Structure 1
Amino acid sequence: MFGSLNKRIQDTLAERRRHRSRLVTKDGRCNIEYGNIKYSKHFAFLADFWTTFVEIRWRFVLFFFIFSFTMSWFIFGLLWYWIARSNGDLLWQNPDLDHVPCIDNVFGLTTAFLYSLETQTTIGYGGRALTHLCPGAVAVLIIQSLVGAIINCFMCGVILSKISLPKKRAKTITFSDMAVISPKKNSLCLSIRVANLRKTLMIGSQIYGKLLRTTNSSDGETIIMDQVNIEFVMDAGKDNLFFVCPLTLYHVIDKSSPFFEMAVDTLHKQEFELVVFLDGIAESTSSSCQVRTSFIPREIMWGYNFLPIISRSKEGKYRVDFSNFSKVVPVATAHCAYCFHNIKGHHHHSREGNVNQGFEVIDINDAVDATKM
């Protein structure tokens, strides 16, 4: 019992370490932090205040929304109170019966605040109104109306910009949880599946990858997060994709590929992170967005292929079955890329023991039945 509990704790800690070691999480967030930034550099964030406001969290946006309006009402309320006091309109000043106030029905700080709120929000209850006897009050009225319009425009722009951020569109584009390595058209390929959950297209989509790993240069320097380009192709090419249905991306493992030196029994012992990017323009909003995800060695399965998910109904309609999106079937695959290119038909490895428990594997007979139209 205690041994099982200890193993479970160790697995949980190992999972947390792997999660922290990712540069890019599965949902596309970058796991990086900046330190020792000079205080003078912080003014750059204030200079670019629009981007700062759009990027901050919603809780701070709501706080600034409430704070900006409340403080403007209060500050102008103090100005209206000062104008009423200067004119002798307040109750404690005991104005004469024939006294003509600057602002009707403003007798104290509370009524001055209410008049400020009604002025800036254009409520106009009719109980408090500005008279023509105080030119200074007319100037304050104009200034408050302009300030209120500026605050309204700015805060509405920030909220609309945050709502329409391209990363929200990226939430409806999903990658497969795992990548697979198997033969494809006489080549050994690393395959990844990607799907657009909306019917609106991503225009001008481009997909590429970066392999991140720690390497040692020839002069002994350790390069952390060294980046290697990973090219992905599809049957229809790699640019201007017709992203109307789920696509399978292929990276050909040839002699120029960093995966060429890996094998089925050494892949999961490697230390690297494969980051995949999809850039495109949303058809409905014309805003560009980028979708990211990453794969670490334990999320790459050697000797498996994705189960087909696109079929055609009797009525002639195309159907996408997302229940098979993360399912794979075992296929005969060479033990390593060198074996595949140099020893044809040999060294097909057994797939026993290379199954990730979090990824569903389908029997090959079930796969055949599932692809029948």
Structure 2
Amino acid sequence: MAGDSRVLMDHNMEIGVTPAQVKKLPKHLREAQISTERTHLISDPAKKPRQRYVQKDGKCNVHHGNVQETYRYLSDLFTTLVDLRWRLSLFIFTLVYVVNWLFFGFLWWLIALIRGDLVHADEEGWTPCVENLNSFVSAFLFSIETETTIGYGYRVITEKCPEGIILLLVQAILGSIVNAMMVGCMFVKISQPKNRAETLMFSHNAVISVRDNKMCLMFRVGDLRNSHIVEASIRAKLIRSQQTKEGEFIPLNQTDINIGFDTGDDRLFLVSPLIISHEINEKSPFWEMTLAQMEKEEFEIVVILEGMVEATGMTCQARSSYLDTEVLWGYRFTPVLSLEKGFYEVDYNNFHDVYETNTPTCSAKELAAKLREGPLLPQLSLLSPEPKMHTFDTLNRLSKPDPLGQDEDREERDSGGDRGETNGSAAALEEPHLADGLPG
């Protein structure tokens, strides 16, 4: 510890920060390492807010620009109409019907004008194409009555107008096509399964802790409705920048996170909230990542829950994401299920709550190596203080830095010492064989 303080003091002197100024800084700033590279005079201890790839509500933060081949949208007109916003869909729905009625109303008026029905309509013995059609307005009303099959009985086509009969057949056929197209679009838009995803919940944070002697990444999912999601399955992707060995930079590289695909645990019976676990093993992207390294990494975990809606049979997909700052090391989820008289009750007030648990700060690879040498977890119980419960609001408050350093004493009391050892304990220094496996 003395050596670390001496190195930190040397770094401070290099960048022109005096020891008196260091003491005035909050704890999280004083403990942050300062870069001595030539390209960086001082590193920013707090991560800058990053742009999400997927929002918490599942919306993807990707906009397609400079699309030249826009004709492709018209090749699938039905899907294009369904994907439009509601106000634009209602406008197009109304516009299509009004234009269709006006177009055929104009044709009926044109037939009456050519035949002379508008001039000789009041003469006795004259048989018009459409009775009581004497203006464009009356032709428009007859077009509406014909296509909507209202049939008021005031304006009627006569048998001595073959061109009118042909136009009547054309309007009836095209009108049916327009009705099927537009009503179908509105029905699909109203019954879209993405509305069902509004009642599927994901925990606000993901956690990392030890489960069955293995380091695991966990998050919780739940369904608020009594009607279930049939054939529910879940998968996860790690989104982060990557540079290949050839020097190619991939800004948003996607890596699969195994959450039970090989064992079938990704198939869910989502009746009550479930904790989804990813075992950090040799195939995991977090295999060699320690707590200190994770605090420096920038990544995003996208989780996707899919299944069929029981009421409609349509496929539903719900999405959420966790930034690196939303992955809590050394926490577990608070239980939400309790047994009542004759049924199980789920308390959604604790759905997002977590509590602190003793977790080594070393990587899963180092933990596995230490476990092969001898049992580790029975001795970890000596390092654990009383578990502390944290709600989601409390975690947000604790995660915000105190610019005046007023929360330093409270942080020291809550953490029981330096976070660079193990979560919530400084007793690891008393166990030499444990301190070797739990790097600070």
TM-score (norm 1): 0.84
Question: Paired residue for 1:181?
Answer: 208
**CA distance in structure 2 between the partners assigned to 1:242 and 1:286 by the alignment:** 16
Question: Paired residue for 2:62?
Answer: 32
Question: Paired residue for 1:42?
Answer: 70
Shift of 1:175: 0.5
* Counterpart among 320, 326, 331 of residue 346 in structure 2: 320
Please state if 1:227 is matched with 2:257.
no
Structure exhibiting the larger radius of gyration computed from Cα positions? 2
Please state if 1:335 is matched with 2:381.
no
CA contact (8 A) 2:350 2:391 kept: no
Q: What are the equivalent positions in structure 2 for 1:65-76 lying under 5 Å apart?
A: 65-76=93-104
Question: Paired residue for 1:284?
Answer: 311
Question: Paired residue for 1:78?
Answer: 106
Shift of 1:37: 2.5
**CA distance in structure 2 between the partners assigned to 1:56 and 1:180 by the alignment:** 38
Question: Paired residue for 2:11?
Answer: none
**CA distance in structure 1 between the partners assigned to 2:52 and 2:396 by the alignment:** 23
**CA distance in structure 2 between the partners assigned to 1:32 and 1:177 by the alignment:** 22
Q: What are the equivalent positions in structure 2 for 1:135-214 lying under 5 Å apart?
A: 135-214=162-241
**CA distance in structure 2 between the partners assigned to 1:114 and 1:79 by the alignment:** 12
Task: From the superposition, tell whether residues 94 and 238 of structure 1 become closer, same or farther in structure 2 (CA, over 3 Å).
Answer: closer
**CA distance in structure 2 between the partners assigned to 1:159 and 1:207 by the alignment:** 30
Shift of 1:72: 0.9
- State the one-letter code of the partner of 2:247: G
CA contact (8 A) 1:207 1:238 kept: no
CA contact (8 A) 1:307 1:325 kept: yes
Superposed CA deviations along residues 147-200 of structure 1, whole A, max 9, x for unmatched, are 111111111111111122221222221110100111111111111000011122
Superposed CA deviations along residues 121-168 of structure 1, whole A, max 9, x for unmatched, are 112222211111211111111111111111111111111111222212
CA contact (8 A) 1:178 1:359 kept: no
Shift of 1:67: 0.8
Shift of 1:324: 0.6
- State the one-letter code of the partner of 2:78: W
CA contact (8 A) 1:230 1:251 kept: yes
Q: Which moved more, 1:182-191 or 1:337-346?
A: 337-346
Superposed CA deviations along residues 194-216 of structure 1, whole A, max 9, x for unmatched, are 00111222222222211111111
Q: Which moved more, 1:265-274 or 1:189-198?
A: 265-274
**CA distance in structure 2 between the partners assigned to 1:56 and 1:94 by the alignment:** 46
CA contact (8 A) 1:191 1:248 kept: yes
Seq. identity, %: 39
Question: Paired residue for 1:116?
Answer: 143
Task: From the superposition, tell whether residues 249 and 239 of structure 1 become closer, same or farther in structure 2 (CA, over 3 Å).
Answer: closer
- State how many pairs are aligned: 341
**CA distance in structure 2 between the partners assigned to 1:327 and 1:70 by the alignment:** 54
Task: From the superposition, tell whether residues 290 and 128 of structure 1 become closer, same or farther in structure 2 (CA, over 3 Å).
Answer: same
Shift of 1:279: 2.0
Choose between structure 1 and 2: higher strand proportion: 1
Superposed CA deviations along residues 197-254 of structure 1, whole A, max 9, x for unmatched, are 11222222222211111111111111111121111149x9514321111100011123
Task: From the superposition, tell whether residues 355 and 239 of structure 1 become closer, same or farther in structure 2 (CA, over 3 Å).
Answer: closer
Shift of 1:25: 0.9
- State the one-letter code of the partner of 2:58: G
CA contact (8 A) 2:353 2:392 kept: no
**CA distance in structure 2 between the partners assigned to 1:348 and 1:258 by the alignment:** 28
Shift of 1:16: 10
Task: From the superposition, tell whether residues 124 and 185 of structure 1 become closer, same or farther in structure 2 (CA, over 3 Å).
Answer: same
State the SS of the aligned residue for 1:335. Answer: coil
Q: Which moved more, 1:338-347 or 1:285-294?
A: 338-347
Unaligned runs of 5+ in 2: 1-45, 371-375, 398-413, 415-440
Task: From the superposition, tell whether residues 94 and 216 of structure 1 become closer, same or farther in structure 2 (CA, over 3 Å).
Answer: closer
**CA distance in structure 1 between the partners assigned to 2:335 and 2:329 by the alignment:** 18
Question: Paired residue for 1:299?
Answer: 326
CA contact (8 A) 1:196 1:243 kept: yes
Shift of 1:15: 11
**CA distance in structure 2 between the partners assigned to 1:264 and 1:116 by the alignment:** 73
